[in-house]
Amino acid sequence: MTEDFLLLNPGPVPVTDEVSAAMDEPMVSHRSADFEAVYERAQDGLDYVFTESTLDGASTAPESGGTSLVLNGTATMGMESAVANLVGESDEAVSLVNGKFGRRFARIADRHTDEATRVEAEWGTSLSLDDVREAVTDDTEVVTMVHNETSTGILNPVAEVGEIAADHDATFVVDGVTSIGGDEFRLDDWNVDVAVTDSQKALAAPPGVSAMWLSADVEEKLDGESAPFYEDLEWHLRKAESHQTPFTSAVPLFRALAVAVEDIVEETMPTRIRRHRRQAKAFREGFTAMGLDLFADLREESDYSNTVTAVSLPEEVYGDDCEAFFDGVTERNVSISGGQAHLGGQIFRVSNMGGLPDDAILRGVRTVGEAMADAGVDADVEAGVDAARAELETVESAHADD
């Protein structure tokens, strides 16, 4: 008998029945009190996620405050609106690039200023903080970086870069798309001015809307005059005061997001962060125990991602030969991702974002192992599953009283 479909891509991730059901409720106007209540629920939940993503439940909200917004459109629009609202054509922007999404931020900056520069490292390797120190100066207006680089499974050092940005009074814009809601994220300690995330990642809502947190300092800097019309953040902030968006809201998606973030409040971020860390470690232990290599090459201050695991494809299934492996995974009714851009045919990626049960992690490990073995790779499937299970059980019992 075929097992149920299992979605392990790094977004969209599975959503609960309650989140799905929220989208089926009768339609209402985006200018109604009903909708305003939905927006407020989503905003309250997002305030919690943005400001209390810590292991001890402590708040990292800056004393000066800040605002959570929900935007129609995925996080790329959030990234673009942050840059477009903060950078004029002669303002200096420094973008850190060690993967596809860091590059996306840099490409966005290229479109909005003639003074965009990049600090680059090979995809999958750590960024050099010395390079960042050299690139960021008192003339830098904005620094952009990706916290969790989904394309490579590397967790970048936001705290250290935030300190450099703050030393030069630069506005620090962070893509927390695959960390926020799943891993630690500290607004004030890391000097974050703008944080962006997507609905369909660790928040475990359907795709189509994104969320942004803006510090009160940034709110003061916003000048609606030069902002793109649809992405005018000053306007979004003004409308958010009455729990509305400037233009027609994606009502069903806002409803689903409200339920998803309320689920996070109920689980609590400390528990959620521990669960994500435990499951990501189980993926790593499982894949390495079966004989595979993790793709991320940690050289400086960076870490393995706690939400997305990227694994190098062994030579038997490398390049054009990867199809047999990916077909084997699909045949087992599991969906995973390959590499993006030039990493196509070089890696595979799995996610543990959202609310996956531990069984899904074990099935992911087993599926990858069996598909590798079928494709001719000498993968020790049982060793992989055992190592993943051991990791899940060890850490689970260590936090049994949490």
Which residues are at the interface with ligand PLP (CB under 6 A)?
11, 74-76, 101, 146, 150, 175, 177-178, 198
CB of 341 to ligand PLP, least distance (A): 13
> Which of residues 75 and 273 has its CB atom nearest to ligand PLP in the complex?
75
Closest CA to 254 of 65, 93, 40, 104: 40
CB of 31 to ligand PLP, least distance (A): 27
CB of 294 to ligand PLP, least distance (A): 18
The beta strands (E) that lie in 227-296 are given as none
> Which of residues 75 and 317 has its CB atom nearest to ligand PLP in the complex?
75
**Which residues are CB-neighbours of 63 under 8 A, at least 6 positions away?**
188
CB of 215 to ligand PLP, least distance (A): 20
Kindly report the CA angle at 11 between 5 and 16, in degrees rounded to 5? 55
CB of 95 to ligand PLP, least distance (A): 13
Cα 233 off chain centre by: 21
Max Cα separation, the chain? Answer: 63
CB of 402 to ligand PLP, least distance (A): 28
Q: Are strands 6-7 and 334-335 parallel, antiparallel or unpaired?
A: parallel
Quick one: tokens of 340?
């993006």
Residue with tokens 């790329």: 76
Tell me the CA end-to-end span of the chain in Å, nearest whole number.
37
Q: Are 90 and 115 in contact (CB under 8 A)?
A: yes
> Which of residues 79 and 259 has its CB atom nearest to ligand PLP in the complex?
79
> Which of residues 294 and 375 has its CB atom nearest to ligand PLP in the complex?
294
Using CB atoms within 10 A of its CB, is residue 26 exposed (0-12), middle (13-18) or buried (19+)? Answer: exposed
Q: Which amino acid would we find at residue 71? A: L
> Which of residues 75 and 379 has its CB atom nearest to ligand PLP in the complex?
75
> Which of residues 175 and 232 has its CB atom nearest to ligand PLP in the complex?
175
CB of 142 to ligand PLP, least distance (A): 17
Closest CA to 338 of 360, 355, 357, 317: 317
Plot region of 376 (φ>0 → left; ψ -120 to 50 → alpha; else → beta):
left
In a 3-state reduction of DSSP, which class is residue 156? coil
**Which value, in Å, is the radius of gyration of the alpha carbons in the chain?**
21
CB of 74 to ligand PLP, least distance (A): 3
> Which of residues 175 and 184 has its CB atom nearest to ligand PLP in the complex?
175
